[in-house]
């Protein structure tokens, strides 16, 4: 009996060993070689009103101000994906030419702005991380280190002079009580080299959980559908009131620091498509 048990264990072991090692090899090969694509959808709205239509959708802030947008644009960079095992894949980290994007509501198709990422290692991802704005590390590469993206930003009205740098978030439109009839422009962004200029750094990193894993394979291009709730602008953690003192502000002054901190909380992953 004992010998029989020993023999059967032995047999099971020698049968399973090659199988196990085969599996391991396959996994490693797939992780090293296979990659696929990933799509990120940004849908800008007011959570109680739905998608934002420029010059049309009018919201009332928590302080009672009506407001609508004629321009709504922001920069997304340094996207990274964290998989089930905790491995982080950084997509063209601090390389704006390849890894920075401008989400412009004017480009929305049926309310959605699409970012397409390629050469993503095959894996099951459970978190996405991205930057709002352009990091100092990227900016300090200099203008020649990001000529392509700088020109793109220029064409989109998302740049100041090189010395000042990028516009991170551009919000323009009308506001007022009882009706939205006064123009505003709030453009956030760093004033060049923030430590040399002793100005605030408005670059923010945001980490979002995915409700289900995004399963990147050679054949499946998952799509991570993010909702951005623009109620956070004036009705976020800090309630803001537009006035003659701040309705034409550009840069990184205190009002725009508040705007930035509010907007940092506006993103959430609503759902993931794996098809």
CA angle 143, 197, 262 (to 5 degrees): 90
Q: Which residues contact 127 (CB under 8 A, 6 or more apart)?
A: 81, 82, 207, 208, 209, 210
For every residue of 68-85, DSSP letters joined together read EEEEEEEEEEEEEEEETT
Report the site for Cu ion in 59-98 (rule: CB under 5 A): none
Q: Which helix (H) or strand (E) holds 50?
A: strand 50-51
272 contributes a contact to Cu ion by CB under 5 A: no
Least distance (Å) between residue 200 CB and Cu ion: 34
Site track 171-210 with Cu ion (rule: CB under 5 A), x = hit: ----------------------------------------
> What number of chain residues touch Cu ion (CB under 5 A)?
1
- In degrees, rounded to 5, the angle at the alpha carbon of residue 229 between the alpha carbons of residues 236 and 269 is 120
Here's the x/- map for Cu ion, 213-252, by CB under 5 A: it reads as ------------x---------------------------
Min dist. Cβ of residue 39 to Cu ion (A): 10
Nearer Cβ to Cu ion (73/225):
225
Quick one: 43 or 104, whose CB is closer to Cu ion?
Answer: 43
Quick check: helix, strand or coil at residue 241? coil
Binding site for Cu ion (CB under 5 A): 225
């Amino acid at each position: 009996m004992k010998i029989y048990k020993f023999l059967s264990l032995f047999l099971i072991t020698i049968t399973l060993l090659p199988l196990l090692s085969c599996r391991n090899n396959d996994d490693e090969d797939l992780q090293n070689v296979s990659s696929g694509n990933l799509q990120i959808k940004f849908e800008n709205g007011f959570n109680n009103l739905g998608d934002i239509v420029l010059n049309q959708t009018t919201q009332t802030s928590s302080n009672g101000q009506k407001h609508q947008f004629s321009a709504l644009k922001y920069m997304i960079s340094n996207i990274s994906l964290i998989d089930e095992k905790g491995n982080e894949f950084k997509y063209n980290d601090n390389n704006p030419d390849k890894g920075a994007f401008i989400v412009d509501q004017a480009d929305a198709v049926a309310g959605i702005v699409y970012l397409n990422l390629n050469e993503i290692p095959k894996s099951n991802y459970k978190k996405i991380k991205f930057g709002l704005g352009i990091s100092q590390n990227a900016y300090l590469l200099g203008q020649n280190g990001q000529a392509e993206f700088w020109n793109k930003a220029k064409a989109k009205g998302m740049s100041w002079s090189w010395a000042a740098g990028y516009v991170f978030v551009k919000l323009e439109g009308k506001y007022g009580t009882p009706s939205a009839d006064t123009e505003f422009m709030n453009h956030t962004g760093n004033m060049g080299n923030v430590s040399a200029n002793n100005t605030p750094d408005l670059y923010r990193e945001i980490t979002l959980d995915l409700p289900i894993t995004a399963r990147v394979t050679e054949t499946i291009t998952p799509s991570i559908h993010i909702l951005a709730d623009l109620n956070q602008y004036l009705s976020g953690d800090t309630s803001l009131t537009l006035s003659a003192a701040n309705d034409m502000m550009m840069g990184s002054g205190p009002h725009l620091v508040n705007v930035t901190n509010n907007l940092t909380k506006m993103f959430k992953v609503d759902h993931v498509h794996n098809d």
